[in-house]
Amino acid sequence: MKSSAASMKPSAAPMKPSAAPMTHSVAPMKPTGQSGVSGDTSSKKRNGKAVFCSDVSSDKNDGVVMFRNMTFGPQEGELRFRLIHFWEARNAFTKILIGLEMLLIDEEGTVIQGFIPPSRIDTYLRHMIPDSTYRLNNYFGSKTKKVYRVADPDVTIAFSWNSVLSVLTDSSIRFPEDRFRFHGYEEFEAACDLKGDLFDYIGHIRLVNEQTLTEGLVLDEVEIASMRRILIHVQTYDGPVMKLYLWDKAATDLCEKFKSLGKPPSVILVTTVNPKRFEGALSLSSLSSSRVFFVMDVQATREYLAWFESNSEVANRVNAEIVTKAETATIGELLSYMKQEDANVAWFECTATIDDVVRDSAWYYIACGRCKTKATKGPTTLMCKKCGKTEITGAAEYLTKLSVYDNNDYASFVVLGDAGQELTGKKASGLVESYYEAYEGALDGHVVPVPQALIDIIGQTRTFVIKISKHNLEGKTQSLTVTKVLPLDGSALGCDLAADVVVSPTEVALGSGNGEEGSSIAKRAKCG
């Protein structure tokens, strides 16, 4: 059940950093000057206290607090810093704005997290420019969150009701431009799915959306905009290749860099990535806090590019298709694994022959068109609990039960979401709509019978990516979930990190196909 990949070491890597649990990279120091703060330069007043001053000299160090000396509670000392980056923090489910998070660095090179509550964002945001330098008086030291932390200190600088932010114009004070916290494969593997600290990743690009880096490579910007992401395979020095998903702005940044260079950049650095295990392989995903740098953007990428250009033979030695694949297993091995006391949720590749498609239960369900979670019926519309919306557009998604076998054993596989399209070459929504177009008299709520596209796969031998779920380990269901079906040529590259289908264990087991729950999931989608 073990997949193999050759362990290879570079013959010469003069610029390769030592293998340490965490590596910091500090950009060159940069003198401050007149900051280009835009907007009204007059001080705004609240209770007689200025909240922003645009042109304040700083010729003395009385009361200046370094980030390493920050404490909890209200503070009156002066902070001086460079604003590295800021981003909106929103609730993952309701999308409600929680506040504005910031990454700040002081003259000693200490990086700390900052926070502005929602009610105070408008006061300060229009004066905030990344890479500009500021002074802050009157603030609060709050406890740093444990989930997705982006800096080392346990204290976060929070703007309070009487905080005063001003532009720092003293050109004698020098601040580092940035500071990175790099992790490698082993560290990301150890932190996978823990939702702890977010670290940075640097490496050279091997594949972009499953395509090799050639002069003729073209990125489909329409598809990227629709999917909201780009999948790239990245390798650090001679280490394992990892899947890196760039979402939204990070994906747009890569497209823009591609257009400006006329080809994909060879080196990439992404900050604050989230390590997750998806379909058996360690994957990294960008977040709203992430920034993306390429080739010559910062000192760290320039140093890596120099190593890459002088060690290209070493850097290209690992096969991306090998190191990103899940472990292989027979049906019997999967069933045995589920019974092990120390077994965990895991993904495996299993090759099996399709014996039949179960036809006494629904082969699809109606999902939220945005997140693919099973939609629920409201009084007059479809609703999505995950998105928190009471009016959504539903779309049919595969939830198809197969009987399969290999040389020795039989099993039930449940094909979910995009895996069904990979198996049949057709979208579930298209098959459902085609049925209603052919049978105009069919009523909404009528369960569409198993289509010919699914009947045609009987007898095929395919390789499936199987997820051993928590419900399997707890004995709630013996049906194995298929999250991906590999092409007939065996290529296993690429998967949609955001395409997690959320359905109940009862629905996955499909044990109550003629009951209320089993039939309700397959009713025709209505646009809300």
Average pLDDT score over residue span 284-305: 92
Q: How far apart are CA 322 and CA 303, in angstroms?
A: 28
**Is 15's pLDDT higher than 50?**
no
Contact 206, 241 (CB under 8 A): yes
Write the CB contacts of 225 (distance below 8 Å, at least 6 apart in sequence): none
Q: How far apart are CA 237 and CA 108, in angstroms?
A: 30
Q: What is the pLDDT of residue 350?
A: 92
State the DSSP string of 352-389. EEEEEE--SS-SEEEEETTT-PBPEE-SSSEEETTTTE
Cβ-in-10-Å burial (0-12, 13-18, 19+) of 114 comes to buried
Q: What is the pLDDT of residue 436?
A: 84
Q: How far apart are CA 133 and CA 82, in angstroms?
A: 4
Beta-strand pair 29-31/174-176: antiparallel
Contact 208, 219 (CB under 8 A): yes
Among 329, 275, 273, 269, which Cα is nearest to 300's? 269
Contact 134, 167 (CB under 8 A): yes
Q: What is the pLDDT of residue 279?
A: 61
Render pLDDT for 410-464 as a digit per residue (tens, 0 to 9).
999 999 888 899 899 999 989 988 888 888 766 566 678 999 999 999 999 999 9
508 vs 165 pLDDT, higher one: 165
| % of residues, the chain, pLDDT over 90 | 35
pTM higher than 0.85: no
Q: What is the pLDDT of residue 48?
A: 43
State the DSSP string of 160-193. EEEEEEEEE--TT-EEES-EEEE--HHHHHHHTT
Alpha helix positions (H), 98-161: 121-125
**Is 375's pLDDT higher than 60?**
yes
Summary mean pLDDT of the chain: 78
Torsion of CA 92, 501, 196, 236, to 10 degrees: -120
| Other residues' Cβ atoms within 10 Å of the Cβ of residue 51 | 21
53 vs 222 pLDDT, higher one: 222
**Is 8's pLDDT higher than 50?**
no
pLDDT category, 313, cuts 50, 70, 90?
confident
Residue 207 — φ and ψ, nearest 5°?
Answer: -140, 150
485 vs 277 pLDDT, higher one: 485
Q: What is the pLDDT of residue 435?
A: 87
Q: How far apart are CA 493 and CA 487, in angstroms?
A: 10
Q: What is the pLDDT of residue 39?
A: 30
Q: How far apart are CA 38 and CA 85, in angstroms?
A: 17
Out of 8-17, 325-334, 484-493, least confident range: 8-17
| % of residues, the chain, pLDDT over 70 | 76
Contact 102, 83 (CB under 8 A): yes
Average pLDDT score over residue span 259-284: 83
pLDDT category, 27, cuts 50, 70, 90?
low
Residue 187 — φ and ψ, nearest 5°?
Answer: -70, -40
**Is 493's pLDDT higher than 50?**
no
62 vs 417 pLDDT, higher one: 417
Among 487, 352, 328, which Cα is nearest to 406's? 352
Token pair 């007149």 in the structure block, residue: 34
Out of 4-13, 333-342, 356-365, least confident range: 4-13
Render pLDDT for 175-202 as a digit per residue (tens, 0 to 9).
988 889 999 888 888 888 888 889 999 9
Q: What is the pLDDT of residue 266?
A: 87
Q: What is the pLDDT of residue 444?
A: 61
Among 356, 351, 347, 358, which Cα is nearest to 464's? 351
| DSSP-derived secondary structure letter, 68 | G
Q: How far apart are CA 166 and CA 173, in angstroms?
A: 15
Q: How far apart are CA 405 and CA 190, in angstroms?
A: 35
377 vs 200 pLDDT, higher one: 200
| DSSP-derived secondary structure letter, 302 | H
Residue 122 — φ and ψ, nearest 5°?
Answer: -60, -30
**Is 5's pLDDT higher than 70?**
no
Contact 358, 457 (CB under 8 A): no
Average pLDDT score over residue span 123-144: 92
Sign of CA dihedral 305, 249, 107, 146: negative
State the DSSP string of 307-353. HHHH-HHHHT-S-HHHHTSPEE--HHHHHHHHT-TT--SEEEEEEEE
Q: How far apart are CA 135 and CA 132, in angstroms?
A: 11
Residue 123 structure tokens:
């006061």
Render pLDDT for 156-171 as a digit per residue (tens, 0 to 9).
999 999 999 999 988 7
Q: What is the pLDDT of residue 3?
A: 39
Q: What is the pLDDT of residue 385?
A: 80
Q: What is the pLDDT of residue 92?
A: 75
Render pLDDT for 396-409 as a digit per residue (tens, 0 to 9).
899 999 999 998 89
Out of 136-145, 297-306, 468-477, 482-491, least confident range: 482-491
In one-letter notation, the amino acid at residue 466 is I
Q: What is the pLDDT of residue 237?
A: 86
**Is 474's pLDDT higher than 80?**
yes
| Other residues' Cβ atoms within 10 Å of the Cβ of residue 199 | 23
Distance of CA 419 to the CA centre of its chain: 20
